[in-house]
Chains A and B, each alone.
Chain A
Amino acid sequence: MRRWYLHRTILFLATLLVLWCAWYAYSVVSAERKTDPAILAEMREHKSVELWAELPFTPEEFHMHYMQDRGTLTGVSGNWMHLMGVSPSAAWTIARQYWVERVTTRKE
C-alpha cells in the first residue's frame, strides 16, 4: 500500500500513542512537583508512607474508594484525605493523578 503511514488507522493509533506518552510524561513531572520532599525521600527508601492528599474539590465516593484501594484511609477533612500505610508505588500513582493537587505530610 502506498503511504500506509497516512492511513487513518495508523494516524489514529499514532496520535493516541503520542498523546498518551505526553500525558504520562506530564503526570510524572507534576507528581515530582506536587509531593513533599520528605515523602519523596521515604518513597525512595521503599518505605510505606503516611500522607495527606489535597484535592481541588470535595472528594466523592469515587475518590475515597480510590484511596482505599491504595492505603488505609483514616479520614476526610474538607478537601483533604489522610492515608496511612501507602506503598511507594501507590503513593507515586496517587501523586501522578491530575486531580490530586498536592501530597504533603500534614494538612494545611
Chain B
Amino acid sequence: MGTRPPLARAKQLRGVLGFVLLFAIWQGITSSGLVKPIALATPEAVFSVIVAGIADHSLLINTGVSLERLILSVIVAGLLGIALGVAVGLSRRFGSFVEPLAAFFNAISGIVWLPLAITWFGLTWKMLLFVIANSVFFIIFFNTLLGIRTVPRVYEQAVFTLGASRWRSILDVIVPGALPGIISGLRLGLGFGWRALIAAELVGATQGLGFMIYSAAQYLRTDVILAGIIVIGVIAFTLDALLLGPLERATVERWGVYQ
C-alpha cells in the first residue's frame, strides 16, 4: 500500500499511546503499594514469567496447543458450516426446515455442550474439539447462508442467459459471490472459537493457555495468570482485527466482488 495520510498516522499513534498509558497505570498501581503484591503482579514479574516461559518452552507449548486446537476446530467446523450453509442457501425447502433448528441450537452453542461432551468423550481432546467446533460451526453456517442469499439474482440470471448449467452457476457465480460472507464467517468463527477454547480449557484440559491460567489461580500466581491473559488477549485481538482483513483484501477485493 502507498503512504498513509497524516490523520490515519496520528490515529495509530494515539492508539499506541492508549496502550502505553494502560501499562503506565498498571505499573503505577502495583508500585505505589495501593494493592498487595499477591493481588496484582508487577509488570516486571509478569515479563519475567513470559521470558522464562519462552526459555523453557512451557509458554510456547501451551500457546501452541491452544492454537492447534483452535485451527483444527475451525477447519472441521468450517467445512461443515460452509457445506451446510451452501446447501441450505440453495434450497428453500431445506432451508425453512433447518434454519429454525439452527437458530435454536445456536442459542446453546459452545460451552453449554461441555457437560454432555464430557459424558460422551471424557476429558479428552475430542471433547474440546467438539465444544469449540460447536461454537464455530453456527457462525460460519449463518454467515455462509447470508453470503449465498445476498448474491444478486441478476448475476445468476445473466449466467443462465449465457447458457450455463445449474452447476456452473453455483460454482462460478454463487459461491464466489458468497465469498465475503464466508470469509466474514471464518473471521468471526476464529474469534468466537478462541473464546470457547479458553472457556473449555479452564474446565477440561491439562494443557493450553486456559489450563495454565486456571491452575495458576490455585496457587495465587497472579504473575502467571496475567502473563497468560496477555498472550490470550494479544491472540484474541489479532484474530478479531488483523488476521483476515488482509486475506480479504488479497482475494475478494482483487476479484472485484466488493462494490
Tell me if chains A and B make direct contact, with any CB pair below 8 A. no
Residue positions of A touching B, CB distance < 8 A: none
